[in-house]
Structure 1
């Protein structure tokens, strides 16, 4: 089974190569022939000066910065840091800032915690709007955005046009993945593609060799126009990343 992905935009998350310099990350992206990078705020871009540096390096190599992985935990973080996060993203000319919604699965989030998340979202979306930025929660366990219904609920109550989401597979729940794509498609800004094995290291699924193929085929059929970002690769090794991108380009 193969889907045609020629029109898809491919990139990488800098977190894939935490131990490498920003310049090396750009070099790898260039070597792989991908045009986008999501820079993480944990290591590579922690302040405005580092943002200027990576922007310059990316510009010189023709690499676009699609997003800033801020690790801002909505409803739990120091709100005073958000404006700086937006400034960093703007300097890099990123179109979105990736965040986490809370610190619990939606099923475990209390009403009080939910209200706190919602109010913080309203605040940060308002600030982000001044910088022409989207706010995009990662689709992740141990956050409120751990399932489709939770995302749709908070989106409907938030009512902010610059609030979107990421998509990433739950791996063992194909029907869920397809349903999530269909029901949230208009809100999906970018997609994280990862590796995973039983030790919880991120890897492409092995038990069903067509699992990823079918997910990408669905996105292709719906004319997804965001960026497919490789978030983790086997052993954080360049050689494995290059193989991953080669695989993605082969569809």
Structure 2
């Protein structure tokens, strides 16, 4: 396995796309997950094509189109929204679309709601795969993929080889539980979202270097138990105070850490 460093564009939501690309390149990052909120709204094919062109020019990889599909959208707009999302990802040159598993934690989802999410996810995955696109679920609280057990069951029920999961740490778990969570998810892992937050979540952000005691063992576990012949992206998501200089510092620390691990 070889680690590669990247950026989630929502980290720089306040900046235009060309500045995001320039800063990522300057910071030594190798790829970007593009957010469907500010940077690339669904259906903006002109902007998607422009971003793809600029990414190729910069020599950066597109990790995924970061959509906000949750598979609980009203039925009357579902098909059109799905198609526009796929078209946007294709225009971007993305290999995959990031999606969300509803908007309730797994403990609150009824059997009927879970079945509906599975059915919709299968249908969307089939549409996306027909266009050569994978589907990556966000690993996140207040969704059906909020624990490794629920996420793995959900992916098993979807039963599509093109469907994977992202992973990120949960801020209220001890290191042992974080390691267990990541190790369980590794067989279904697409890539990692990387940050260091306090117990208040994204409202309490710290420099990534202060999270070395968390991230070094996590990445060592991924190296030990992950697929030996695959690259694994580690994408910085959000930085302290949304500051550009903090992104530079976090990227420099991540680059140093990944270089050490890649050299072992």
- CA pair 209-53 structure 1, distance change in 2 beyond 3 A: closer
The question of whether the paired residues in 2 share the 8 Å contact of 1:75 and 1:118 is answered with no
- Say how many residue pairs are matched: 246
Q: Deviations over 1:35-82 (max 9, x none)?
A: 100000101111211101111111111111111100111233642201
What is the TM-score when the length of structure 1 is the normalising length?
0.92
Q: Deviations over 1:125-153 (max 9, x none)?
A: 01111111111111100100000111111
What is the TM-score when the length of structure 2 is the normalising length?
0.87
Partner of 2:182: 181
Say yes or no: does 1:62 pair with 2:75: no
For residues 77-116 of structure 1, what are the structure 2 equivalents within 5 Å?
Answer: 78-80=77-79, 81-116=81-116
Q: Distance in 1 between matches of 2:160 and 2:177?
A: 25
Partner of 1:218: 221
Q: Deviations over 1:72-96 (max 9, x none)?
A: 1123364220111111111222111
Q: Deviations over 1:168-197 (max 9, x none)?
A: 011332222222222221210010012313
- CA pair 192-42 structure 1, distance change in 2 beyond 3 A: same
Q: Distance in 1 between matches of 2:54 and 2:94?
A: 14
Unaligned runs of 5+ in 1: none
The question of whether the paired residues in 2 share the 8 Å contact of 1:171 and 1:205 is answered with no
- CA pair 242-126 structure 1, distance change in 2 beyond 3 A: same
Q: Which deviates more, 179-188 or 201-210?
A: 201-210
Partner of 1:39: 34
Q: Distance in 1 between matches of 2:192 and 2:110?
A: 28
Partner of 2:260: none
Q: Distance in 1 between matches of 2:206 and 2:94?
A: 27
Q: Which runs of 4+ in 1 moved over 4 A?
A: 204-209
Q: Distance in 1 between matches of 2:36 and 2:178?
A: 28
Q: Distance in 1 between matches of 2:244 and 2:221?
A: 28
Q: Distance in 2 between matches of 1:62 and 1:140?
A: 30
Secondary structure, aligned partner of 1:71: coil
RMSD: 1.9
